[in-house]
Structure 1
């Protein structure tokens, strides 16, 4: 492994871990706020216990997200100094604002965790809402910075110099809305299904059923609503990519040849040498419609881009297929769940429906990882699209491979610690919040 590949691998590893922590940190405070609201309105202690249990999870992921995010900020400067030298003054504003949102989130989380029976009940609830809002804003700002790398604007690039810098225009670039929308909805899908899956498993095991049933419903509603909305945000993103980054879209769909009435390719094994896709299901004209709202529109293939600027097709295509496939599976579960809420209420107590949520527990996060692979690998060979190549931005410092090994060990250790803490927290729920099976026995 050379230093360039090691640098890319280290960045991918760091992002791969951080994005999980970030998604949960962005979304779980909203679950917490909803259960807290129900407690304030009903005085049902089950909701108070759910709120306290989830707040501890929020605290765990806030801490791990802060650590992994800090590492990422250092890595940008250490691994990609040429990139930061030129890009820092342009897209530094969303990172600065993200830091502000992070501090607000930290203060609000401190108030919430230690504010029980110390603050006004509704003021205490508001601090929890602020944790969620500031966390969501923080995530959107980071995505805006990444969107700038896909749609660089807010500057003039003349003779190798970056001039006439406009940080506001850079932050609100052409890609920020579609990427921020898609990522935010994905975070709600992934976290909603993961949390619902854990509680569904506890229900199936017969542990603290009143507690886990109410927690399951809150998480499931968030996750399923987001899963139904996700294809809409995906459609907005796909049309945006087709317009700005046709080579990325071509790699996503393994679309080698420019043509009208382009088919949508489902599955398949792309062969870059022969420029064919084997064993794929092709739906005529659907890619043209999805990209341009016209079944006969022309869709640019990889043949319209110089070979040296082609993204890695196989990785991008497979990641895209995984993301879409898992997204459709979760949307199917979501439709079943809403059918149960609307017409088939007896399904809500069925074991098969709970088992579906248990199976879907990791799906959202796998889809998120696949989606970020599409975003980052599909932009290659550019670190700033059509402006700076990734190979030109890497540090000249030797020995990056040893840094990669070290950070791999750190993140694996961090993951083990987080899993242990969450496992202990789940077991503590069983001991601290053990409630009678008959809800009528619950006092307060």
Structure 2
């Protein structure tokens, strides 16, 4: 394994691991705040227990995310020193502000965790809301830095001397790609987290259908995840139109669009052959790619044939990742539609095993879509680390043996993932046990009543 590949794989694995915790950190505090608000308004203890359970989950993910995020910061400098030498002074502001948001989030989370019965209820609730707002702010700031890599602005670059001058950190942070990427990422985080949480509780409801703790948890999570799932295609359309202008090579790779043409068709599925420039087994909808990219069915869409060969991103990986992202997102949107329909017109469906299995099977799809989306973002930008300015191979460290640090990261993060999963499982099961006991008492009372009825009927 070469050093460049090892460095890219290590960064990809670290980012892929961290992004799950980042998504949960953005969205789960709002689930916690909704449950807490319902407890304040209704006095129903199940919402208090939900809020407490989710707050402890937020704390676990916050601690793990802090560690994995710190590792990523070190990796930027250790694996890509040439990149950080030039890019650090330009896009360093979002990272410094993200640190501020992180500290605010930590303080607010501490207040929420230890504030039960000690501070006024609305101040306590507000502290939970601040956790979520700070998490979203952190996500936006980090995405702004990544967006700068896709749309570098805020400096002048001289390729002859390889110098960067007239640096404007504000312009770099609010680059042309930051809004579209941030919007898409936030909605993805809420969709993925909402369905992941709903799926876990749905699976537990299959075993304990009358458990109110899991019932209310699933409904709150589906509400948040479902709304985000419906909004996601809108942000996707905005992102597609932006990418078509700024990164035509990425759009061409996403769609395996090899030949420049007007009235370009949108490809569904398909296996691209980069050598022949053909796609097998795909379905094309005529004109739809032109419309989605430019708002005009007849508009020309740039194909890979207009991109120099040494500047083309890997087509197969980008295309498959894009198809996975869209497919998973579409499925989740359909589940969300079914939930809202059942909530309004067929409430009994929500407790049916078929519906619960459908939600349970949706558990990993949101996170899978997030991972696929980041694969599109990063692989689709190749061979550039700074789009159009610095190639990835120019930025990698000259130090040998990167593959060993990659192997170490994989082992450590895998163990950490197992530990976090175990802690979360124990946390949810512990707080749901009271409601399991209540269910058993209800079942016992019902059985006694049925037995008494049968005896009376026999007499």
Please give the TM-score of this superposition, normalised by the length of structure 1.
Answer: 0.97
- 1:14 match: 14
Is the 1:208–1:435 contact (alpha carbons within 8 Å) kept by the matching residues of 2? no
State the shift of 1:427 in Å.
2.2
What RMSD, in angstroms, separates the aligned Cα atoms of the two structures? 1.4
- 2:382 match: 380
Q: What's the CA shift string for 1:18-56, capped at 9, x where partnerless?
A: 000110111100000000001111111111000111111
CA change 1:240–1:274 in 2 (3 A) is same
Matches within 5 A, 1:406-425: 406-425=408-427
State the shift of 1:114 in Å.
0.7
Is the 1:148–1:176 contact (alpha carbons within 8 Å) kept by the matching residues of 2? yes
- 2:315 match: 313
**Which whole-Å CA distance do the structure 2 matches of 1:100 and 1:231 have between them?**
32
Unaligned runs of 5+ in 2: 443-459
State the shift of 1:420 in Å.
1.3
- 1:298 match: 300
**Which whole-Å CA distance do the structure 1 matches of 2:58 and 2:285 have between them?**
43
CA change 1:34–1:435 in 2 (3 A) is farther
Is the 1:36–1:51 contact (alpha carbons within 8 Å) kept by the matching residues of 2? yes
417-426 or 41-50, which deviates more: 417-426
SS at match of 1:259: coil
**Which whole-Å CA distance do the structure 1 matches of 2:17 and 2:351 have between them?**
35
**Which whole-Å CA distance do the structure 1 matches of 2:272 and 2:279 have between them?**
4
**Which whole-Å CA distance do the structure 2 matches of 1:52 and 1:343 have between them?**
31
Alignment coverage as a number of residue pairs: 440
SS at match of 1:379: coil
State the shift of 1:127 in Å.
0.5
- 2:451 match: none
SS at match of 2:438: coil
- Out of 181, 185, 188, which is 1:186 matched to? 188
State the shift of 1:344 in Å.
2.5
Matches within 5 A, 1:63-82: 63-82=63-82
- 1:197 match: 199
Q: What's the CA shift string for 1:155-210, capped at 9, x where partnerless?
A: 01023111000000000000000000000000000000000011111111116611
155-164 or 265-274, which deviates more: 155-164
- 1:352 match: 354
219-228 or 340-349, which deviates more: 340-349
**Which whole-Å CA distance do the structure 1 matches of 2:76 and 2:302 have between them?**
33
- 1:227 match: 229
**Which whole-Å CA distance do the structure 2 matches of 1:4 and 1:349 have between them?**
51
- 1:60 match: 60
**Which whole-Å CA distance do the structure 1 matches of 2:61 and 2:210 have between them?**
24
**Which whole-Å CA distance do the structure 1 matches of 2:313 and 2:110 have between them?**
44
**Which whole-Å CA distance do the structure 1 matches of 2:103 and 2:206 have between them?**
39
Task: Say if 2:117 is the partner of 1:125.
Answer: no
CA change 1:433–1:66 in 2 (3 A) is farther
**Which whole-Å CA distance do the structure 1 matches of 2:274 and 2:94 have between them?**
38
Unaligned runs of 5+ in 1: none
Is the 2:214–2:432 contact (alpha carbons within 8 Å) kept by the matching residues of 1? no
Please give the TM-score of this superposition, normalised by the length of structure 2.
Answer: 0.94
**Which whole-Å CA distance do the structure 2 matches of 1:336 and 1:33 have between them?**
25
Task: Say if 2:121 is the partner of 1:104.
Answer: no
SS at match of 1:165: coil
State the shift of 1:431 in Å.
2.9
- 2:252 match: 250
